[in-house]
Chains A and B, each alone.
Chain A
Amino acid sequence: MAANADAIEQVQSIGEQYKYGFVTDIDVDLAPKGLNEDIVRLISEKKGEPAWMLEWRLKAYRHWLTMEEPEWQKVKFDKIDYQDSYYYAAPKLGDKPKSLDEVDPKLLETYAKLGIPLKEQEVLAGVEGAPKVAVDAVFDSVSVATTYKAKLEEIGVIFCSISEAVRDHPELVQKYLGSVVPYADNYYATLNSAVFTDGSFVYIPKGVRCPMELSTYFRINQENTGQFERTLIIADEGAHVSYLEGCTAPMRDEHQLHAAVVELVTLDDAEIKYSTVQNWYPGDEEGRGGIYNFVTKRGACRGRNSKISWTQVETGSAITWKYPSCILQGDNSVGEFYSVAITNNAQQADTGTKMIHIGKNTSSRIISKGISAGKADQTYRGLVRMQRGANGARNYTQCDSLLIGDQCGAHTVPYIESQNPTAQVEHEATTSRISDDQLFYCRQRGLTDEEAVSLIVNGFCREVLQTLPMEFAVEAQKLVGISLEGSVG
């Protein structure tokens, strides 16, 4: 509750419009536009990948060519020209700089605007001798700024980029990559499998409780560059990890495709908590220039008593299309999905989750809070499936929508499939509006319209925001305020 109180204060201190909308003009090492086998080979080569990795990419690419772009989702956008994008761009930093003084000042400005602490800037900019930090996306510099890779290594935790993992831990990557989201899974995941350029890899060994939140952030810095991150997190038996992902993107004119894949695996008694604050550029008021966020996130609770918990705060992007899911394979495994999705102006979101109950006594919990304002349209789409063997499985789903204004839309599309008579599925849904009474009450206490909306919406989302780690909760509450600016009055 204290976090909530502080965050409200922070909400008020936030300025107008999209604070992180800026483009950093730095030299970029670009592959030519377009997509073909040569580009796939080039990406693999640039990353110095072994042959098996290239083969996997090519397999995915060839499969992708046979696939059709899906059209069942309730979002509208112009057809993407996949040949009009760059698939490889890496910031050109030349030799490692000796200190931050030698780093491109433009890059430093970007970090400054993002409020990244100096020490982490050094790491991000690749300064020679800088420690490898578990990068913190959150503005609170005292939070997890000292999460050093070396410290993690001591206890056997591997936290590195996916490219490094391919090179240094091929046995783990080969075993798990594509094991949750196969290369042929869906159009965008398959594209990602062919051309992914970066992302994170985490392995928590048996019995280890990762002593710190691991976090990373992604930032699109090159116009016309599709972003294809690939994240793979494995919690071995009895391991425990909390992972944070957050992102902001610079303002730009053309739509950008962001098609990430995240795979989580928990073995017996292991737990992964994955939190996202998604703040990609949503476009202008007509939705021009915003990010297309078409992401495949899926976790497999392979082991008994294992748990995967997704928390997402989705405020950005022109279009958000994602369903972080759990495959509850191990007996007694637990899947959770906590979501806040905010759409304003012309933003569109079709988001939700899938809970696939396979093991006995598996349970899942879905709490979804959707807020729609302006002309935005939002759909909650969730699948709960109780398979034949899922004796005693349970699901609880609560799906609340809040509308601001009279031009926005909220839709709830639950899919419930049960093949097991002992399984229990509960679904509750509400739709409400911010009432004039509530707004006036807040304004009579001295809050502006925007402060009032921010406060009321933060209250509406509280149940979900509470599940975020403290630093992220503060950030998320600020974003709630920013995202709804201009939605009333």
Chain B
Amino acid sequence: MALLEIRNLHATVDDKPILNGVDLTIDAGEVHAIMGPNGSGKSTLSYVLSGRDGYEVTDGEVIYDGKDLLEMAADERAREGVFLAFQYPVEIPGVAGLTFLKTAANALRTHRGEGELDAMDFLKFVRGKAEALDINDEMLKRAVNEGFSGGEKKRMEILQMAVLEPKLAILDETDSGLDIDALKVVSDGVNALRGPERGMLLITHYQRLLDYIVPDRVHVLAHGRIVKSGDKDLALELEAKGYGEFMEAAE
């Protein structure tokens, strides 16, 4: 069964149409990449899927794990296993990263009917995952994203994903602002989370990321529609030719 099924999705922002009939199906275990030029609707798609206010769905439907995703509030979607790694992670002054992680993890655990982890168990659990992402205790103690470099913010996003163990992970321009070393750490982190139960949607502008996280399917988004789909080689083709011809095709 498909983990995520997007059918004819139309959405507007401030009454301006951005998505104009997106169709996309992701099965559990698959990694899909969406590529497209600026303004093609990539980030809008990630926000519509995660339920951000201000994005109005005007037509179409999204079935996630057998449920109507669009009926759910943003926090409900998160508790049901939809995770968005933000392009621009937000600072929350005064809230330690570890506290934030624990609060989120316990919200999810409670939702799933599992008990909350106590502070010591949780710290052990997080440390195990943080190490692989080169995140030390000191960084966990700092306030969420406050004063973090671009690379630190993205690593922290992936750590959250590792801790929250989503069914569907949407990674919005996770490669932006990363140097090659950071890109490698982040990609390794993402690859480690690939699994038969989990679907991933990578949103990216550049092919570069896909050298490290090799997708099962690649889609080109232009003018709010998927105009071409293919396997990982499509990304290379895009890199060589640019978006120009796809843009024209979409018009």
Contacts and interface: CB of A to CB of B under 8 A. Distances in A.
B106 interface: yes
Given A8-B103, A9-B116, A444 B96 contact: no
B90 A12 contact: no
Contact of B92 (A12, A451, A459): A459
Nearest to B98: A5
A93 interface: no
B108 interface: yes
A441 B119 contact: no
B86 A441 contact: yes
Interface stretch (A74-82, A119-127, A134-142, A432-440): A432-440
B50 interface: yes
Contacts of B100: 445, 455
Interface string A1-17: 11011101100100000
B96 A1 contact: yes
Contacts of B139: none
B141 A451 contact: no
Interface string B121-146: 00000000000000000000101100
A1 B94 CA distance: 10
A463 interface: yes
Residue of B73, B100, B103, B141 ringed by the most chain A CB atoms within 10 A: B103
Contacts of A435: 90
B102 A5 contact: yes
Contacts, number: 103
B160 interface: yes
A458 interface: yes
Chain A interface, DSSP helix/strand/loop, else mixed: helix
Nearest to B96: A1
B167 interface: no
Nearest to B81: A446
A444 B144 CA distance: 15
B234 interface: no
A447 B99 contact: no
The 9 closest A-B pairs by CB, nearest first: A459-B94, A459-B95, A445-B104, A462-B94, A446-B107, A446-B78, A441-B90, A443-B75, A443-B74
Interface of A: 1-2, 4-6, 8-9, 12, 435-438, 440-449, 451-452, 455-456, 458-463
15 contacts: A1-B96, A4-B95, A4-B96, A5-B96, A5-B102, A8-B99, A8-B103, A9-B106, A437-B90, A441-B92, A445-B164, A446-B79, A446-B104, A456-B95, A459-B144
Given A446-B164, A447-B104, A449-B75, 19 more contacts: A1-B98, A1-B141, A5-B96, A12-B106, A12-B107, A438-B92, A440-B74, A443-B73, A443-B78, A445-B78, A446-B104, A446-B108, A447-B103, A448-B107, A455-B99, A459-B92, A462-B94, A462-B95, A463-B94
